[in-house]
């Protein structure tokens, strides 16, 4: 056993009271970088301190003596003075064992501000029980405070940039919607008014222009959906999934005449989430399921679910009889503007699955694909159970 | 002096996923009147198979889009080098709507890409390509 271990063992055996604490205390007060002090509340001055606060702040012993009891009011940051005064008040009524803390700034002789944190507790009381002295430890936390301020400023700047980008993306897509719509109107009007008199080539070019402006409107709509999703924090409400799903399918009838007959929805539990966003999620997945099937084949889509109370999640499976997806690109299809087909084969913006994935993860869930080419696809969406 | 009749391009291979853009480029190319043949593909992979199967009938110029489903323009370049090597390949002009500066940097760092054109294609672009072929021919002949 080392000498120190022997001493510590003796102390443990004999009890702390039998131990001569003086050398221990001398060493401790010498090596801690903090200022340890005992303050007499009646004389309003330090009766003990391991090192001088004033000298730690760069002042000479003569400076400190000249300032005397006025040192704290003189050197403390003016805006911290009211808190310091309140802290002193609190010290007078402190219960035994209670620790009061305060963070405050003092001016260094070089003009800079030093952040200090003080921990203080009752040292002893007079016969009436009033606090006579308190003991405190003060530590320099300037570096930590600066790091905190820097991190906070950087976070604020990053939040602002994100917010700016969100509103910019939304404004751009919103403002593009108008011209895209008007272009479509003008082109339609040309065909309506002059269609009969148009020769073949102009008619063909006009139909290409209408096709293109229609495509532009669809992309703009999807970009708007996406920016709306990233701009809003989802609500947390119970949603009857099967009711929502039936509504979504009805809404899709505008684009897919047979949607209601093609999609069968099994009974499903309630989930927790944002009804608008979850509706958009399933609209994206169902649109996919109804779009990607071989020429002439009738789409068949079945929606079922499996709730797992242990994990608190439900897995919704959307199974189609479409062309399927190569496992190699199962992750790729969730990327923004990622497409596997040209517009003429299957129209799309390449944003639907990116939107769906974004909504699922924002709700603490996910989307995965179970599929192989030619064998249909099953999209599995996990969401929190209500 | 180069006489006007010498400025010709035998064959252009157009790789672009938009059928409408293909149609418009064909019209611009036809109007320029200096190109004998245009072959177009919507998928880069199909274009690569075409090159591999018709080694004796390679185009002089490939007009290559960047953003396409399945295989993008840069993936096409890598796959072409893999499959066909680097000898005697056509001049590749990247033709794109991309305004992403990193795409242009990437194109400039890809030896097989000769130039980076921002859409739309013009008749002057085509004349420039024909002159490039002439220069290449005279260098090869010297």
List the one residue out of A319, A335, A322 whose CA is nearest residue A291. Answer: A322
**What's the pLDDT score for residue A238?**
95
Is residue A246 packed enough to be buried (19+ CB in 10 Å), middle (13-18) or exposed (0-12)?
A: middle
Q: Cβ–Cβ of A339/B23 closer than 8 Å?
A: no
For A178, the enclosing helix (H) or strand (E) is: helix A142-194
B18 touches chain A (CB under 8 A): yes
What does the mean pLDDT of chain B come to? Answer: 89
DSSP structure string for A218-272: HHHHHHHHHHHHHHSPPP-EEEEHHHHHHHHHHHHTTT-TTHHHHEEE----EEE
Q: Cβ–Cβ of B69/A344 closer than 8 Å?
A: no
- B126 phi-psi bin (left φ>0, alpha ψ -120 to 50, beta other): alpha
**What's the pLDDT score for residue B141?**
40
Decide: helix, strand or coil at residue A131.
strand
Q: Cβ–Cβ of B70/A208 closer than 8 Å?
A: no
Mutate to test the interface with B, among A343, A346, A348 (most CBs of B within 10 A): A343
Q: Angle, to 10 degrees, between the axis of helix A142-194 and the axis of helix A200-231?
A: 150
Q: What are phi and psi of A369, to 5 degrees?
A: -120, 140
Q: What percent of chain B has pLDDT over 90?
A: 65
List the one residue out of A166, A280, A160 whose CA is nearest residue A230. Answer: A166
B69 touches chain A (CB under 8 A): yes
Decide: helix, strand or coil at residue B36.
strand
The pLDDT of B106-133, averaged and rounded, is 90
The pLDDT of B93-103, averaged and rounded, is 85
B136 touches chain A (CB under 8 A): no
The DSSP bridge pattern shows strands A366-371 and A301-308 to be unpaired
**What's the pLDDT score for residue A119?**
96
**What's the pLDDT score for residue A179?**
87
> Which residues 6+ apart lie within 8 Å of A142 measured at CB?
A113, A114, A115
Specify the DSSP class assigned to residue B89. P
> Which residues 6+ apart lie within 8 Å of A313 measured at CB?
A307, A365, A382, A383, A384, A385
Q: In the beta sheet, which residues pair with residue A315?
A: A306, A382
Closest to B18 (Cβ–Cβ): which among A337, A341, A343? A343
Written in H, E and C, the secondary structure of B48-69 is HHHHHHCHHHCCCEEEECCCCC
- Residues of A at the B interface (Cβ-Cβ below 8 Å)? 208, 211-212, 337, 339-344
ipTM attached to this prediction = 0.77
The stretches in chain A having pLDDT less than 70 are 1-5, 7-8, 11-12, 14-19
**What's the pLDDT score for residue B72?**
93
**What's the pLDDT score for residue B137?**
73
Q: What are phi and psi of A61, to 5 degrees?
A: -60, -35
Q: Cβ–Cβ of B20/A212 closer than 8 Å?
A: yes
CA–CA separation, A29 vs A247, rounded Å? 73
**What's the pLDDT score for residue B113?**
93
Q: Cβ–Cβ of B69/A337 closer than 8 Å?
A: no
Closest to A208 (Cβ–Cβ): which among B17, B23, B42? B23
Residues A212-227: pLDDT tens digits? 998 888 888 888 888 8
Q: How far is A210 from chain B (nearest CA, A)?
A: 11
Q: How far is A205 from chain B (nearest CA, A)?
A: 9
B97 touches chain A (CB under 8 A): no
B72 touches chain A (CB under 8 A): no
Select the more confidently predicted residue: B42 or A66.
B42
Which residues does chain A have within 8 Å of residue B67's beta carbon, measured at their own beta carbons?
A: 337
Q: How far is B19 from chain A (nearest CA, A)?
A: 7
Q: Cβ–Cβ of A339/B69 closer than 8 Å?
A: yes
The DSSP bridge pattern shows strands A237-240 and A270-273 to be antiparallel
Tokens of A132: 């006579």
Tokens of A264: 């069968």
Nearest CA in chain A to B71: A340
Which residues does chain A have within 8 Å of residue B28's beta carbon, measured at their own beta carbons?
A: none
The DSSP bridge pattern shows strands B61-64 and B9-15 to be parallel
Residues A195-254: pLDDT tens digits? 787 888 888 899 899 989 988 888 888 888 888 888 777 888 999 999 999 999 999 998
**What's the pLDDT score for residue B120?**
84
Which residues does chain A have within 8 Å of residue B42's beta carbon, measured at their own beta carbons?
A: 342, 344
**What's the pLDDT score for residue A174?**
81
CB B44 within 8 A of CB B94: no
CA–CA separation, A26 vs A187, rounded Å? 92
**What's the pLDDT score for residue A199?**
83
Q: What are phi and psi of A240, to 5 degrees?
A: -75, 105
Task: Say whether pLDDT at B114 is over 80.
Answer: yes
Specify the DSSP class assigned to residue A322. S
Q: Which of residues 22-41 of B touch A (CB under 8 A)?
A: 23
For A38, the enclosing helix (H) or strand (E) is: strand A35-40
Nearest CA in chain B to A326: B70
**What's the pLDDT score for residue B142?**
36
CA–CA separation, A310 vs A304, rounded Å? 19
Q: How far is B17 from chain A (nearest CA, A)?
A: 6
Q: Cβ–Cβ of B67/A337 closer than 8 Å?
A: yes
Decide: helix, strand or coil at residue A2.
coil
**Nearest 5 degrees, angle CA B24-CA B25-CA B30?**
100
Q: Count the Cβ atoms, other than its own, within 10 Å of residue A323.
A: 20
CA–CA separation, A343 vs B18, rounded Å? 7
Tokens of A3: 């000498």
Residues B57-90: pLDDT tens digits? 999 999 999 989 999 999 999 999 999 998 889 9
CA–CA separation, A352 vs A341, rounded Å? 14
Nearest CA in chain A to B20: A208
């Amino acid at each position: 056993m080392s000498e120190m271990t022997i001493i510590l063992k003796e102390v443990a055996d004999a009890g702390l009271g039998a131990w001569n604490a003086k050398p221990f205390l001398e060493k401790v007060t010498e090596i801690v970088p903090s200022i340890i002090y005992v303050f007499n509340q009646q004389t309003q001055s330090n009766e003990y301190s391991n090192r001088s606060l004033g000298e730690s702040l760069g002042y000479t012993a003569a400076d400190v003596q000249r300032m005397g009891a006025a040192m704290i009011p003189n050197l403390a940051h003016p805006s911290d003075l009211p808190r310091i005064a309140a802290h002193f008040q609190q010290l007078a009524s402190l219960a035994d064992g209670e620790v009061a803390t305060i963070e405050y700034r003092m001016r260094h002789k070089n003009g800079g501000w030093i952040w200090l944190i003080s921990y203080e507790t009752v040292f002893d009381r007079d016969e009436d029980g009033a606090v006579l002295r308190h003991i405190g430890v003060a530590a320099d936390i300037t570096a930590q405070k600066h790091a905190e301020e820097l991190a906070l400023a950087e976070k604020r700047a990053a939040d602002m940039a994100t917010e700016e980008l969100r509103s910019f993306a939304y404004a751009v897509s919103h403002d593009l919607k108008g011209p895209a719509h008007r272009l479509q109107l003008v082109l339609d009007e040309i065909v309506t008014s002059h269609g009969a008199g148009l020769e073949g080539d102009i008619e063909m070019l006009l139909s290409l222009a209408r096709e293109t402006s229609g495509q532009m409107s669809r992309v703009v709509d999807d970009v708007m959906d996406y920016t709306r999703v990233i701009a809003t924090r989802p609500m947390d409400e119970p949603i009857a999934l099967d009711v929502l799903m039936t509504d979504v399918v009805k809404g899709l009838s505008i684009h897919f005449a047979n949607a209601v007959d093609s999609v069968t929805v099994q009974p499903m539990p309630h989930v927790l989430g944002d009804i608008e966003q979850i509706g958009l999620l399933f609209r994206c997945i169902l649109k996919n399921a109804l779009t990607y099937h071989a020429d002439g084949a009738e789409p068949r889509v079945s929606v079922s679910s499996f709730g797992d109370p242990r994990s608190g999640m439900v897995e919704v499976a959307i199974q189609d009889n479409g062309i399927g997806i190569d496992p190699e690109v199962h992750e790729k299809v969730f990327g923004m503007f990622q497409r596997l087909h040209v517009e003429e084969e299957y129209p799309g913006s390449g944003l639907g699955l990116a939107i769906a994935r974004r909504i699922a993860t924002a709700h603490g869930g996910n989307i995965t694909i179970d599929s192989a080419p030619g064998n249909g696809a099953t999209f599995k969406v996990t969401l929190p159970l209500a | 002096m180069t006489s006007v009749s010498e400025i010709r391009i035998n064959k252009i291979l157009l790789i672009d996923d938009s059928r409408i853009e293909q149609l418009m480029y064909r019209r611009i190319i036809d109007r320029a009147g200096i190109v004998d043949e245009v072959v177009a593909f919507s998928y880069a992979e199909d274009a690569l198979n075409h090159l591999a199967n018709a080694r004796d009938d390679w185009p002089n110029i490939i007009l290559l889009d960047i953003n396409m489903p399945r295989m993008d323009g840069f993936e096409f370049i890598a796959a072409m080098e893999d499959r066909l090597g680097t000898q005697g390949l056509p001049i590749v002009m990247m033709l794109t709507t991309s305004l992403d500066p990193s795409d242009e940097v990437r194109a400039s760092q890809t030896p097989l890409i000769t130039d980076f054109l921002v859409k739309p294609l013009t008749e002057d672009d085509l004349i420039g390509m024909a002159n490039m072929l002439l220069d290449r021919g005279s260098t090869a002949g010297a």
